[in-house]
Amino acid sequence: MSAVIEVQHLHKSYGDTVAVDDVSFTVADGEIFGILGPNGAGKTTTVESIEGLRTPDRGTISVLGLDPRRDRAELTQRLGAQLQDSQLPDRLQVAEALELYSSFYRAPADWRALMDVLGLAAQSKTRFGQLSGGQKQRLSIALALVGNPRVVVLDELTTGLDPQARRDTWALIEGVRDRGVTILLVTHFMEEAERLCDRVALIDAGRVVAMDTPAGLAGRVQADQRIQFRPSVPLDDALLTSLPDVTSVTRRGDVVVVTGNSNALNAVTSVLARHQIVAQQLRVEQASLEDAFIALTSSADRN
Amino acid sequence: MSVTATAPPAARGSRGSALGRLTLTELKLLLRERVRLIVGVGIPLILVIIFGSIPFYNHPARVFGGLTLLDEYVSILSAFSLAVLSLTVVPMVLADYRAKGVLRRLRTTPVGPWRVLAAQVLVDLALAVVAVAVILAVARIGYGVFLPRQLAGFVVATLLAAAALMAIGLFIAALAPSGRAGMTTGQVLLIPMMFFAGLFIPIPAMSPAVQHVSHATPLGAAVEAMQYAAQGHWPHLLPLLTMAAYAVAFGLAAARLFRWE
């Protein structure tokens, strides 16, 4: 797969404030690539440089072989953008906005079909100011797609949406990817990144601290497994603490909480089986992307 | 309506240019927003009707060389209409577009934000032309005020006045952080400018020193040129050059200072 977006050693400061220190990554064709990081990590500055809205101080960016600043006219034809906090005039209707934006492009998508796909057909005559948050967000996705782009940049796609609208939007984004569009997604929702992204770059304090698949990132944190269960008969802690794979055993009421390495679950269940104890309401928690996020970004803080 | 992945693109021939589309869109938005119509056309028109209905304004006066006060006021109110549109409506709309990210969003499209600026100015200019025409027509039909006797001169003076005032409006829009701030700045500027244009005291009744200041202001120069043309003379070069200078200076400053976000 060829690279659609290539960012190398991007650096951007505003006065004395370093927004992006040194960021490099590559996005392959057809990928959903996530940029993840705490607020103020430099995510938006990075994607705005890719969109050609910012001029980097150092480093190179190539999008579909184009330079976002030099080849701006051509880039805008092929890259669709959904910006953070960008609105339309309050009195502009949904269909008017889509028709207007489609007139900007050389080979636009059918805006009526797009309106249907995004579930906005019933709102075609509704003014922007009267749309709900979810409808506004869907319209901004439609506007990002109306030029038939090869690449779409989505910045804080689902911020401010309720959980249902968020899930609906995710399904939509997967649909967009299935049409062969490469997607760069900026988010600070771990669940969103886990659900959508093929790969994730974790950015903190203007640097890429880790880049991997969501599962790969989660696996990097040498976090313990946490096993919870309610034993069917009273249980001596020593039975579990003696296991080499178990690091600790605590109790919360009649619930036993065991932590240990990745082999702990195996060890615990076989011990219980040997003593004919049933582990009721058994739950196993594994390190998630969120654990990785916290571990990786806070370690960067200490440096 | 069925959705297919291979839906044909919309007919392209009928789409027109992006600037044309944007202008049409801005026109629709203008017509939906009655405030702008009331401020730009309604208020000056109501003033024509009020002044026209007061007998004092409709008697020939020696200070105006035998013309009525209303004859003088038609030019002043035309200039007032241009000023309200340029100084309050243009900054209000454009600063609002910037604050809401409309201009930033357009920067990521092939069209760019310049065209929406141009579309906005075109629509407001068109509205200004309509406003002046309505004011002249109502004054003529309702109150027997003669149409400008030197029509070409009046048109040139009006267009130059519009250019100077629009440039100042764009300059305000360039600096205003929000739509409300833009409108308020324009309104505050409007009061002294209208004073020097003779809205409150006729220019001939001002002291010579104040008259000099008046001629140097954009609206004072506009009213001077428009009134002269209304009476049948080609406007003097000085007020025309004054307006052109304002248009160029503020236009360049606005272009330099305008921020898209």
pLDDT band at B64 (very low <50, low <70, confident <90, very high): low
Residues A186 and A263 in one domain: no
**Residues of chain A falling short of pLDDT 50:** 300-303
Judge whether A101 lies within some domain: yes
Give me the domain span that covers residue A247.
224-286
Predicted local confidence at residue B9, as pLDDT: 44
- Give the CATH number for residue A240: 3.30.70.980
Residues A26 and A76 in one domain: yes
Interface test with A, best of B109, B114, B115, B260 (most A CBs within 10 A): B109
Residues A229 and A203 in one domain: no
Predicted local confidence at residue B218, as pLDDT: 94
Residue B13 has pLDDT above 80, yes or no: no
Residues A202 and A282 in one domain: no
Residues A128 and A75 in one domain: yes
Judge whether A301 lies within some domain: no
Spatial contact of A262 and A5, defined as CB atoms under 8 Å apart: no
Q: Mean per-residue pLDDT for B219-229?
A: 93
Out of B9, B104, B109, whose CB is closest to A110? B9
Judge whether A303 lies within some domain: no
Predicted local confidence at residue B14, as pLDDT: 42
Contact B110 A117 (CB under 8 A): no
Judge whether A294 lies within some domain: no
Report the residue of chain A nearest B7, measured CA to CA: A110
Domain count, chain A: 2
Predicted local confidence at residue B11, as pLDDT: 43
Residues A256 and A164 in one domain: no
Could you tell me the residue ranges of all domains in chain B? 17-257
Contact A112 B1 (CB under 8 A): yes
Judge whether A302 lies within some domain: no
Out of B1, B105, B110, whose CB is closest to A116? B1
Residue B225 has pLDDT above 50, yes or no: yes
Judge whether A72 lies within some domain: yes
Report the residue of chain B nearest A75, measured CA to CA: B110
Residues A210 and A281 in one domain: no
Q: What is the ipTM of this complex?
A: 0.81
Contact B104 A53 (CB under 8 A): yes
Judge whether A297 lies within some domain: no
Residues A78 and A137 in one domain: yes
Predicted confidence (pLDDT) per residue in A256-268, tens digit: 888 888 788 888 8
Residues A195 and A272 in one domain: no
Asked if B82 reaches chain A (Cβ–Cβ under 8 Å), the answer is: no
Asked if B5 reaches chain A (Cβ–Cβ under 8 Å), the answer is: yes
Asked if B236 reaches chain A (Cβ–Cβ under 8 Å), the answer is: no
Q: Which of A258-262, B98-102, B146-150, B239-243 has the highest mean pLDDT?
A: B239-243
Report the residue of chain B nearest A93, measured CA to CA: B29
Residues A215 and A228 in one domain: no
Partners of residue A89 in chain B, C-beta under 8 Å: 29, 97, 100, 102
Structure tokens at A224: 């313990």
3-state secondary structure chain B: CCCCCCCCCCCCHHHCCHHHHHHHHHHHHHHHCHHHHHHHHHHHHHHHHHHHHCHHHHCECHHHCCCEHHHHHHHHHHHHHHHHHHHHHHHHHHHHHHHCCHHHHHHCCCCCCHHHHHHHHHHHHHHHHHHHHHHHHHHHHHHCCCCCCCHHHHHHHHHHHHHHHHHHHHHHHHHCCCHHHHHHHHHHHHHHHHHHCCCCCCHHHCCHHHHHHHHHCHHHHHHHHHHHHHCCCCCCHHHHHHHHHHHHHHHHHHHHHCCCC
Residues A71 and A205 in one domain: yes
Residues A211 and A232 in one domain: no
Report the residue of chain B nearest A178, measured CA to CA: B5
Judge whether A299 lies within some domain: no
Residue B16 has pLDDT above 70, yes or no: no
Contact A76 B21 (CB under 8 A): no
Q: Mean per-residue pLDDT for B23-40?
A: 88
Partners of residue B105 in chain A, C-beta under 8 Å: 81, 83, 86, 88, 143
